[in-house]
Amino acid sequence: MKPGRLFAILAVLLAVCRVQASVAAPQTMAAAAHPLAVEAGLEMLRRGGSAVDAAIAAQMMLGVVEPHASGIGGGGFLLHYDGATQTIAVYDGREAAPAGASPAMFLDAGGKPLGFREAVASGISVGVPGVLAMLELAHREHGKLAWRELFEPAIATARDGFAVPPRLATWLGRMPGLRQEPAIAALYFHADGSPRKQGERIANPDLAETMRLIAEQGAGVFYRGALAAEMVDRVRHHVRPGTLSLADLAGYRPIKREAVCGPYRVWVVCGMPPPSSGGIAVLQVLTLLEPFEIWREAPNSLRSIHLIAEASRLAFADRDRYVADPAFVKVPVEGLLSPAYLAERRQLMSPDRSMGKIGPGVPPGYVERGTSHLSIVDRWGNAVSFTTTIEAPFGSQIMVRGFLLNNELTDFSALPEVDGKAIANRVEPGKRPRSSMSPTLVLDRDRRLVATVGSAGGSRIIGDTLHALIGMLDWNLSVSAALAQPRVIRANGPTELEAGTPLADQADRLRALGHQVQVRVHEGGLAGIRRVGDGWEGGADPRRDGVARGE
């Protein structure tokens, strides 16, 4: 075994062994991927701010201390639960393809897809950032504190400096090619080319100034004027230039959508609708699993691992065929979640044999044609489940005034069609790429909030979120235990078992059931909160730098 892989497996083992008890608090709770982000959120809650206020402060801080995963150059999806009205508002801040984008933009001269690294570190991968416009809209509707106040902790930290956290140090060590971007090299590498190490202090005065402008003048200063012009110039003059324009930035609008909700045992689970595939996939898997009563199983038994993988196999087959931006593709949401349709699909599942390769079903109503997560609850019982991203670690690797631009357009299909049929998630001007982000709220049958959870991790977000929900709801694990439990993931490839955990010992038994199995390191990224009695319990994935705290 290569030393690097052995080190990664040992790191996972140590992380899982460091699982801390869930944090309990009577009124407020925040869970996010870095302690400074949690503290920024809690500071807003102490000042009388709402869950949305706290989420904005935490997101701004994540852009400083976790720049490889999220920031103002990216996008996100936010679910808000109103404790007074028991209603859910859904905010879509997903990046959009520029007007100059084309279905063939990720193909080379021979019509073959570009290599992933070529596509990512480029101007063509940059979508119109959406997170700031989305957060400003959510703040207008649910904020209590002044917009400028929410930026204060992040501005101070960017100006005064912070200690390099373990995860940022790890990614800097893995990606020496980042030094090719002068602004990134100056900030995160030494003069001799070596990366900044864990514990070294970094300040980002350019980002502090950028956030000061946004705090004082609003999100509009990001989408129009000198800052917008600089983003456009960097993208259009990259060695592999994109088409981002001033009109694209000025014309971006966040979208309010309806949550996708469905029953699961005694709860109602609500998630993000298209263009995210997360809400549909999580609900499909839970519905497929419910009659198998895995709540009677010991956590992570062979039978439960097998059934979770098989149900996920069916959900991902449908995801790849049907889910894309609903402004461009008619997504049969009701059909995909129809009990009759899922009962039919469930017939393909066997408790003792894998179904093997499977295609999508035909749901009723169908007509042929680096990420981070935070969960927050405030004193009024309002809650936020917010997944935020710039896509790959360090996004497009293009830095503008201290922040990184996303590479979200690589979430589109590189191929515009297969066998003469247009792919739902192909690139089109103004379209929002399909996502796996799965911010989730769980309610009881009286519509009281039970839990808020979500994860980072690309297409594995769905499996992570699903596993956390099953851990909390079916196996009655604490939040921390549910988020730390070993992972089984079934996306578009083999059944994945997390290396260095007891699940890996089940590999041969799963193969005997017909599974293709891969044992791999898993990086996680969950953050969750759930109701316990009259208070809250919170936790964060031990595989990352996150924590949960409450008051």
* Region label for 193, one of left (φ > 0), alpha (ψ between -120 and 50) or beta (otherwise): left
Model confidence over 63-82: pLDDT tens digits?
999 999 999 999 999 999 99
- Dihedral of the CA atoms 31, 32, 37, 38 (nearest 10)? 10
- Which residue is it, tokens 């894309």? 324
15 pLDDT above the threshold of 50:
no
Parallel, antiparallel or unpaired: strands 495-498 and 517-520? parallel
CATH class of 257-371+435-550: mainly alpha
* pLDDT tens track for 371-416: 899 999 999 999 999 999 999 899 999 999 999 999 999 999 999 8
- Within the chain, how many helices (H) and strands (E) appear? 19, 23
Nearest-angstrom CA–CA distance, 376 and 26: 13
Say what percent of the chain tops pLDDT 90.
84
Q: Domain map of the chain by residue range?
A: 28-253+373-422, 257-371+435-550
- Mean pLDDT on 102-119: 90
pLDDT (0 to 100) of residue 20: 62
Backbone phi, psi, residue 460, to 5°: -80, -10
What number is the average pLDDT over the span 190-196? 95
pLDDT digits (tens, 9 = 90+) for 330-343: 999 999 999 999 99
- Residue 496: beta bridge partners? 489, 518
- Bridge-based pairing of strands 417-418 and 75-82 is unpaired
Contact 461, 438 (CB under 8 A): yes
Nearest Cα residue to 490 out of 471, 468, 462, 512: 462
Contact in structure between 37 and 374 (CB atoms under 8 Å): yes
- Per-residue CA distances from 304 to 283, 290, 481, 488 (Å): 17, 11, 17, 10
Q: What whole-number distance in Å separates Cα of residue 340 and Cα of residue 26?
A: 42
Per residue, the 3-state secondary structure of 358-372, as one string, reads CCCCCCCCCCCCCCE
What's the pTM? 0.93
Q: Are 162 and 36 in contact (CB under 8 A)?
A: yes
- What are the tokens at 278? 């997360």
Active centre residues (catalytic) = 371
| pLDDT range class, residue 4, cuts 50, 70, 90 | very low
